[in-house]
Amino acid sequence: MTTKILRFLAEQQPSTPCLIVDLDVIVNNYNAMRNFLPAVEIFYAVKANPAKEVISLLVDLKSCFDAAGRQEIEQIIAAGATTDRILFGNTIKKQKDIAWAYDHGVRLFAFDSKIELQKLAQSAPTSNVFCRLLVNCEGADWSLSKKFGCDIEMARDLMIEAQEKGLNPYGISFHVGSQQTRIDQWDIAIGKTARLFFMLNEAGIELKVINLGGGLPTRYLNDNIASINSHADAIMSAMVKYFGNKMPLMIMEPGRFLIGNAGIIESEVVLISNKSYDENVRWVYLDIGKFGGLAETMNESIKYSIQAPGDGITGPVVLAGPTCDSADILYEIFQYQMPLSLKVGDKVLIMTTGAYTASYSAVNFNGFGPLKTYCI
Amino acid sequence: MTTKILRFLAEQQPSTPCLIVDLDVIVNNYNAMRNFLPAVEIFYAVKANPAKEVISLLVDLKSCFDAAGRQEIEQIIAAGATTDRILFGNTIKKQKDIAWAYDHGVRLFAFDSKIELQKLAQSAPTSNVFCRLLVNCEGADWSLSKKFGCDIEMARDLMIEAQEKGLNPYGISFHVGSQQTRIDQWDIAIGKTARLFFMLNEAGIELKVINLGGGLPTRYLNDNIASINSHADAIMSAMVKYFGNKMPLMIMEPGRFLIGNAGIIESEVVLISNKSYDENVRWVYLDIGKFGGLAETMNESIKYSIQAPGDGITGPVVLAGPTCDSADILYEIFQYQMPLSLKVGDKVLIMTTGAYTASYSAVNFNGFGPLKTYCI
């Protein structure tokens, strides 16, 4: 926890709920990545937190950017980055957005399908393209799916077709899964990607870059996560093992790792109740819930550490949000412990909430506005 | 489907995704409720769709309103309703919001716990209060939980305490579950509520109102739902059965029923792809997803009917949204059928999306703005 955030909360007494982001922590995380993975170019995944101050800071740090859509590209440009530092990384793009990005100088795109490749060939000719490879990794806390990427044979054919269509087959990307807690997954993904590099090499295509994606974890509740240097070691060992002395350039798209632990949400306890005399379940209702910025509590996937005032004696609670929606429950299956002395009006700190919170929040569900962010 | 919406889409060609709400359909639904449940006072659940035009229309129709929070009360007042038509129905309220509502003339509040009762006694003295009773109903398509309501013995004691604290014990509310498809559930809930009425009667408290909550369904995909008159019959039969000639006043809080089928979302197909040569799964990506307004696809709870252009020949698809989030998949377990001729750029209509869509949409996740609503 940063004392800077605590001081801000004590001095400014902002209305709750609110997210406070300590920009210094982002700088530390950025520098840690640069130290432990010096050969890796960083493309910040803007979707993790698109706050203006965050993007500006990363522009100043000379970061590159992974953008999900046109609006994010606009934000990055507005913050002063040149478009040669932008990857349009979403594999699901409207043709008109590709054309717009190309017109504004973006020359780096990702795709994972034949149709997307056709769009790129038409609206972003000669651009550098990544094909996203589907890898089957385990150990990610946030839902994995087959939504992105394609199989290795298809990826090979698509890259050959990319070249035929006048695009530059630039590299392969993958994603080990967001909040990846198992370092052994890097070996699986990099091994498979290396195989694709060699398959394409045999077809006469020399790829330049491996895009290692995101996945570097931040520390949530109970996460016995490996440190950045363990992840870096696992990545570099796999790179050496599979690529030997034919090492491609490396890029990564960290989001959660760069900003997750830079943010703390302050929330107020609105109500504490029991439902019956027989059943001794304590319900604690906060002024933030699933639709107010904590969307990643869906299926209780991400478990935030929550700090509440009070003496040491705690008991189990069901934690819920403030809306009239019966689905707006944060944790019911996983039993959180909170002080028995907790009372209405107490402020709690929801830790490590810098990533994937504010931008997810509903525009006005139940009349509650989106989560306000203060960058300090 | 309303021809008015189709004409609007054809003539105006709005950017997608967008939600079009036909106000005439709301009027029809409102009148249907008035016809089939003439003795029931309607309190529109604003959270279902807080669009200004919708609230104004319902003000003109002489509806009352169920508000989830201060901002909704502000919207209702701004639309011209007097505060005697407003129920502050959320059982999770900040004390300062109760005080604000009371200062602005709201005198009708719901609660389900001792602490909330204390807040009301302090900040809304002499107000009429509903205690929400926990009922265990089955058959609702949207997640049921124990988040709201309390057990019958606790409800009795709380209402006695309400009177002792100078509040007016006005009635009992319950909720059979949103999108309730089983009409037999009314009997269970009304029976239990009647028992509480009589328990309180024995304690010398004469309640005036039963708040039947929401739950009236709208028609989604495959829903073999009962008509409004079947629901009305079930409600009135149970009322007569349990209350006999001591019938209390009745109110309801419809949201989904009033506005669900008044809205259609138009969305564009952004991408269609396969993931491998072996596995013949067709992925269709729309420009709206779970975080763009279709939050109720969470766990595939609500299954919208989707109309796509093309000849009659269809095949199964996985339907996903446009964000870089692997959890942004609409339907994967339940297999939607879409035309084999479907292509990128085609417009699809997501039917019955007037309720619980636009206000849920994320403020700027992946840079995508909230869902735009046109009321016509």
Question: What letter represents residue B197's amino acid?
Answer: F
C-beta atoms of A324 and B47 within 8 A:
yes
- pLDDT confidence tier of residue A139, bands split at 50, 70 and 90: confident
CATH code for B261-375? 2.40.37.10
A245-254, B95-104, B217-226: least confidently modelled range: B217-226
Mean pLDDT of A57-61: 98
Q: How far is CA A282 from its chain centroid?
A: 33
- H or E segment and range at residue B356: none
Gap from B322 CA to chain A (nearest CA, Å): 6
C-beta atoms of A276 and B142 within 8 A:
no
What is the structure's pLDDT at B223? 66
Cβ–Cβ contact A96 with B under 8 A: no
With a CB-CB cutoff of 8 Å, which residues 298-357 of chain B face chain A?
298-299, 301, 320, 322-329, 332, 344-345
- H or E segment and range at residue B249: strand B249-252
Q: How deeply is B274 buried, as exposed, middle or buried, from its count of CB atoms within 10 A (0-12, 13-18, 19+)?
A: middle
Cβ–Cβ contact A69 with B under 8 A: yes
State the average pLDDT for chain A: 95
Pairing of strands A263-273, A249-252: unpaired
- pLDDT confidence tier of residue A1, bands split at 50, 70 and 90: low
What lies within 8 Å, CB to CB, of B60 at 6+ separation is: none
What is the structure's pLDDT at A143? 66
Cβ–Cβ contact A95 with B under 8 A: yes
Instruction: Tell me the sheet residues that pair with B272.
Output: B284
- H or E segment and range at residue B286: strand B283-286
What is the structure's pLDDT at A280? 84
**What b-and-e string marks burial along A41-52, b requiring 16 or more CB atoms within 10 Å of the CB?**
bbbbbbbbbbbe
Would the CA dihedral through A260, A72, A373, A330 be positive or negative? Answer: negative
Strand spans (E) along chain A: 18-21, 40-45, 64-67, 86-88, 108-111, 128-132, 168-173, 209-211, 249-252, 263-273, 283-286, 306-307, 314-320, 329-339, 347-351, 372-375
Interface test with B, best of A324, A342, A347 (most B CBs within 10 A): A324
Closest CA to B291 of B327, B332, B264, B336: B327
C-beta atoms of B362 and A366 within 8 A:
no
The one-character DSSP state at B244 is: T
The per-residue pLDDT for range B124-174, each reduced to its tens digit, is: 999 999 999 999 878 777 767 889 999 999 999 999 999 999 999 999 999
User: Can you give the residue ranges of every domain in chain B?
Assistant: 23-259, 261-375
C-beta atoms of A94 and B270 within 8 A:
yes
**DSSP-assigned letters across all residues of B201-219:** HHTT----EEE--S-----
Gap from A316 CA to chain B (nearest CA, Å): 16
| Cα separation, A291 vs B119, whole angstroms | 25
Tokens of A155: 């990826």
Percent of chain A whose predicted confidence (pLDDT) is above 90: 90
**Is pLDDT of A223 > 70?**
no
Q: How far is CA A267 from its chain centroid?
A: 22
The per-residue pLDDT for range B51-91, each reduced to its tens digit, is: 999 999 999 999 999 999 999 999 999 999 999 999 999 99
Known catalytic residue: A18? no
What is the structure's pLDDT at B144? 72
What CATH topology corresponds to A24-259?
TIM Barrel (3.20.20)
- Contact yes or no for A21/A51 (Cβ under 8 A): yes
| Cα separation, A337 vs A347, whole angstroms | 16
Report the complex ipTM. Answer: 0.95
A34-43, A133-142, A324-333, A349-358: least confidently modelled range: A133-142
C-beta atoms of B92 and A271 within 8 A:
yes
Rounded to a whole number of angstroms, the distance between the first and last alpha carbons of chain B is 14
Cβ–Cβ contact B110 with A under 8 A: no
Q: How deeply is A208 buried, as exposed, middle or buried, from its count of CB atoms within 10 A (0-12, 13-18, 19+)?
A: exposed
pTM: 0.96
Interface test with B, best of A97, A147, A274 (most B CBs within 10 A): A147
What CATH topology corresponds to B23-259?
TIM Barrel (3.20.20)
| Cα separation, A334 vs A218, whole angstroms | 20
Cβ–Cβ contact B365 with A under 8 A: yes
Gap from B85 CA to chain A (nearest CA, Å): 18
The per-residue pLDDT for range A80-124, each reduced to its tens digit, is: 999 999 999 999 999 999 999 999 999 999 999 999 999 999 999
With a CB-CB cutoff of 8 Å, which residues 273-302 of chain B face chain A?
273-279, 281, 283, 285, 287, 291, 295, 298-299, 301
Q: Which residue of B has its CA nearest to A95?
A: B270
Pairing of strands A347-351, A306-307: antiparallel
The per-residue pLDDT for range A306-324, each reduced to its tens digit, is: 999 987 899 999 999 999 9
| Cα separation, B225 vs B26, whole angstroms | 19
What is the structure's pLDDT at A163? 98
**DSSP-assigned letters across all residues of A111-160:** E-SHHHHHHHHHHSTT-EEEEEBP-----BSS---SSS-B-HHHHHHHHH
C-beta atoms of A113 and B274 within 8 A:
yes
Closest CA to B263 of B355, B333, B330, B188: B355
